[in-house]
Amino acid sequence: MDRRTGELAAALARELRGEVRADAYSRHLFASDASMYAREPLVVAFPRGADDVAAAIALAGRYEVPVVTRGAGTSLSGQGTGTGIVLDTSRHMDAIAEIDAEGLRARVGPGVVQEDLNRAAGRHGLAFGPDTSTANRATVGGMIGNNSSGSHSVVYGTTVDHVHELDVVLADGSRARFAPVDEAERLRRAAGDSLEAAIHRELPALVERHREAIARDYPPHWRAAGGYRLDRLADGPFDLARFVVGSEGTLVAITGATVRLVPLPKARLFGVGLFESVSDAIAGTDDALALGAAAVELMDRTILDLSRRKLEFRALADSLPGEPEALLFVTFFGDSVDAARAPLDRLEETWGRHGHGYEFIRAETPAEQEALTKVRQAGLGMLMASSRGARRPLAFVEDTAVAPERLGDYVARLTEILDRHGLTAGLYGHCSVGCLHVRPFVDLTEPGGIETMRAVAEEVVELVAEFGGVNSSEHGDGLVRSEFNGRIFGDELYAAFREVKRLFDPHGRLNPGVMVDAAPMTANLRDPALPAAPPPATTLSFAEHGGMRGAADRCQRIGACRKTATGVMCPSYMATREEEHSTRGRANALVHALSQPDPQAALGDERLHEILYLCLECKACKSECPLSVDMASLKSEFLAHYHEAHGVPLRSRAFGAIRTLNRLGAATAPLSNLAGRVGPLRGALGIARQRPLPRFRRDTLMRWDRRRPAPGGARGDVVFLADSFTSFTEPAIGRAAIELLDLAGYRVRLESAGCCGRASISKGLLERARAQADAMVARLAPEGERGVPIVGCEPSCLLTLREEHLALLPGDERAQAVARSTRLVEELLVEAIDDGALKLDPASAVSGRRIVLHGHCHQKALAGTAATVALLERIPGVEVVELDAGCCGMAGSFGFEAEHYELSMRIGELRLFPALRAEGAETLVAATGASCRQQIAHGVEREARHPVAIVRAAV
Ligand SMILES: Cc1cc2nc3c(=O)[nH]c(=O)nc-3n(C[C@H](O)[C@H](O)[C@H](O)COP(=O)(O)OP(=O)(O)OC[C@H]3O[C@@H](n4cnc5c(N)ncnc54)[C@H](O)[C@@H]3O)c2cc1C
């Protein structure tokens, strides 16, 4: 850091209440958004309020550096990046100060996430209308910055239609409130020599000077997110709040907003048309709009096929009849279900008559709607996920809109352009408003890649103009489109835009180079600027992604890991709300380290360790991130390198050798159970003093197995994995599973000779883990190769055979055979119950009960919980509810570690503990993971049982 930057950081730290970071990692983490660009800032600050924002902007003036205000950084055009100060409002400025249900208004901080606002407003039957696909992490400030909109824009318009009033900080650090004002008030505000006065004084004159061009030169399409919107000032009251919507942080920094709320539709139903071509699907749009559709959304085959690769969408995608080339999702709102169903019926009938589509599927139940909506909303993410190395689906012509009735012709012409340049692309978008998201796959690091991209972008600008459309309909200009604003809006309007910028921001402090005076779209590209670095040798194989950096660089920074209300990813972000504790933050940090001239040395960096330290290795990112970034594996590999530089801590050695410790503990129980209470011992190992330790059982699963009569079994052989945890501390679970398999007619062999390596992997002891994997694979290979099912009760151990063993032993055919034979014990038991081999008793103590299931994170990520739910549902009369409660916070040894204890409990308190506390005493709690059961017992003082133990009680 140079002296001046150091002084700036120190001044910010002195004057702001919020945190200030200027280390290389923080700067790298905030250098990019979800676009193809990167610009590294000097300093990142996390303001706690408007005073902090004002102080930061005043300092930016004093130090003559730019400043960019940002929310979740999910922008697709590069406008969320900047070279000076980045102000992240998402961390602390996310208050919902007021919901005025009667006045249909909410007062919020700019950092509030759309979905959080919707949850609060939803309690009053209200919502914030515009709904971006990123609603679960993108902020209201970012929506205002980009004039975002969503799939229901035909009903709700764009963000500008929902902004009443804005509290802002101006470019000189002064503060103002923007709202519609009458002429008298405008004149009052125009008096004096403040920047606010100058804006109120000079902007109307500017509009007058360009009135003709304003009327003539704005593209006619209403759904626009590009250029400064002088047309909003041309008529009606003088409303600076509306004017600055969509100005991408270049005119003001927003510190508070009063936004409009809309009543939630009482009913919403949708149908999905299946079509033989994209053009057929687009042709169906008119009928849908004529019937008053609230949304008409297109998804093409490329994206559908990609969805089949994701565990959570596969079944749904496979269940669609035929081989559709395109799907059209049509939504209707209504005051009742019948009112929403009527147009759906008519649409089905009309499409049938007009020959649009070969199949029509209805999504009427909330579950059907949610499932289909998830696939649709995940469209862009899945497209990104299909990247191979640096060949990515880039956002540079992805946001055009034309009149819906001309969309078919437009797509045909656009396809011609792409074909001519030899590019493929996935298509999806909002047909209701003619907005199409097209992301051609381009490798900018290859010779000619940048030139091709630019040529296509230029041709599309011309094509859009010919169709009277807009180049950006919701994603904004950013670094990708601002360069073309002169061409798009004409010389006079563009000159007026520059005057606007000079008026609001005379010294070019606020996000300069965006909207006007932009560098070429080919400047600041991220991928070509990534330095080549010699890849470090790794123990886990990342060959599929071209090495460890490639595996981290799968992250395309769309920020899906910043969601907080659903799923598991990312527990530490959910609890801390800090970018660096999200998967995106960690992936970015690893890319930074692995781009250093000596990546091996960089992997020993303390700051990198700090960033990766709170990763719980839950693996949720592997399944929930559309890009399947596997941070758990990356962290293990990182730890292995970090240990090389710093040595292996005693606690990691102890936890890594958990099987040996547990075996000793069980052999010396009950005495050994006292040892856990010895404070100094815990202290030496860094184990949280509040955390009860699992109790060792002398009668281990292995002892019991030795007493078990020789297995018979006509149903065939099964190997049961005696994992390193339950075998010594909860052997009753293994017993229950083996007894059930016995009863079902299986001949069960207990595999108990060693550890799968799970504990070593999580501690980064990868050489040891490889040896353990190799030994286990050698033992299991004969059965694996014969297709004998290998099952177990502890998902993290069992699924290590399916997952990490392949990365530890790349190319090993024995490991692959074992992985193929590895199944959840629940799957076998469901089959046995369904074919009558295993009978459950309707009069058992567990029959007829309500059961809530908390799935283990690794299971959710790698195998899914469907088989566990199905097994529990086989118990007569039960009601099974699977909790969407995220990670329990324990994550193996993580929650035992003294420095992680508080975070571990905080994660549990986010959703799981409250959900369990809300259950009556009669409800049975089921959890597949040993650590989850421990966390539940500790957190809410309830016994959680393994599902097989519950099913055993039903026999
Ligand atoms: C997978 C994916 C899907 C998307 N789908 C949609 C979609 O359906 N509809 C849509 O409209 N967009 C979509 N986007 C784009 C993006 O998510 C939205 O524009 C979103 O509203 C941006 O919010 P953010 O909090 O991430 O803003 P950021 O990216 O952080 O910022 C956006 C802009 O607003 C400015 N800004 C942020 N906060 C402030 C503030 N306090 N004061 C002044 N300026 C500020 C920034 O400087 C920047 O120019 C999508 C993006 C991705 C990656």
Cα 229 to ligand 1 centre (Å): 18
3-state secondary structure of 436: strand
Single-letter amino acid, residue 453: M
| Percent share of the chain, pLDDT over 90 | 89
Under the banding of pLDDT at 50, 70 and 90, the label for residue 364 is confident
Pull the structure tokens for residue 832: 């046995």
Cα gap 663→647, rounded to integer Å: 26
Distance 145 CA to ligand 1 centre (A): 7
pLDDT at 311 over 70: no
Instruction: Give the pLDDT band of residue 399 (cuts 50, 70, 90).
Output: very high
Long-range Cβ pairs for the range 893-897 (8 Å, 24+): 893/655, 893/658, 893/759, 893/762, 893/763, 894/616, 894/617, 895/688, 895/691, 895/931, 895/934, 895/935, 896/687, 896/688, 896/691, 896/693, 897/651, 897/686, 897/687, 897/688
181-190, 320-329, 860-869: the lowest-pLDDT one: 320-329
Return the percentage of the chain with pLDDT > 70, whole number.
98
Quote the pLDDT of residue 682. 84
Of 67, 133, 516, which is best to mutate to test ligand 1, by the most ligand atoms within 8 angstroms of its C-beta?
Answer: 133
Bridging pattern class, strands 944-945 and 924-927? parallel
Residue 947: name the closest of 834, 839, 867, 883 by CA: 867
Residue to mutate, 46, 67, 75, 433, ligand 1, most ligand atoms under 8 Å from C-beta: 75
Q: Kindly give the number of the ligand 1 atom that is closest to the alpha carbon of 255.
A: 41
DSSP alpha helix (H) spans, 756-856: 758-762, 766-786, 795-802, 804-808, 813-821, 825-834
The CA 504 to ligand 1 mean position distance, Å, reads 22
> CA 109 from chain center: how many Å?
22
Ligand 1 probe mutation, 33, 70, 510, most atoms within 8 A of CB: 70
What is the rounded CA–CA span in Å between residue 512 and residue 66?
Answer: 7
**Using 50, 70 and 90 to split pLDDT, how confident is the model at 539?**
very high
Distance between CA atoms of 860 and 625, rounded to whole angstroms? 13
Mean pLDDT of 848-855: 98
pLDDT band at 680 (very low <50, low <70, confident <90, very high): confident
What percent helix, strand, coil does the chain show, rounded to 5? Answer: 50, 15, 35
How confident is the model at residue 629, as a pLDDT?
95
Question: Any bridge partners for residue 113, and if so which?
Answer: 139
Beta bridge partners, 401, equal 435, 470
Q: Which amino acid is at 130?
A: P
Residue type, 841: D
- The values of phi and psi at residue 329, to 5°, are -95, 120
CA-CA-CA-CA dihedral for 593, 599, 604, 607, to nearest 10:
-10
> Taking 80 as the threshold, does the pLDDT of residue 380 lie above it?
no
Q: How many residues does the chain have?
A: 955
Question: Which helix (H) or strand (E) segment is 163 a member of?
Answer: strand 163-169
Per the confidence metrics, is the pTM higher than 0.85? yes
pLDDT at 382 over 90: no
Cα–Cα dist 228/232, whole Å: 9
CA of 293 to the centre of ligand 1 (A): 26
Mean pLDDT within 663-688 = 87
Please tell me which of 214-223, 251-260, 680-689 the model is most confident about, judged by mean pLDDT.
Answer: 251-260
Q: For the residues 432-443, what does the mean pLDDT come to?
A: 92
Pairing of strands 924-927, 850-854: parallel
Can you tell me whether residue 68 is helix, strand or coil? strand
pLDDT at 713: 81
Residues whose CB falls within 8 Å of the CB of residue 946, separated by 6 or more in sequence, listed in order: 726, 730, 733, 736, 793, 926, 927, 928, 933
Nearest Cα neighbor of 702 from 674, 718, 672, 723 is 723
Q: Output the six-digit token pair for 705.
A: 């197995």
Q: Is the pLDDT of residue 398 over 70?
A: yes
Q: Which residues line ligand 1 (CB under 6 A)?
A: 33-34, 68-76, 79-80, 89, 110, 132-134, 138-139, 141-143, 145-146, 148-150, 248-249, 253-254, 380-381, 474-475, 511, 558
Determine the residue type at 562: R
Distance 71 CA to ligand 1 centre (A): 7
pLDDT at 301 (0 to 100): 86
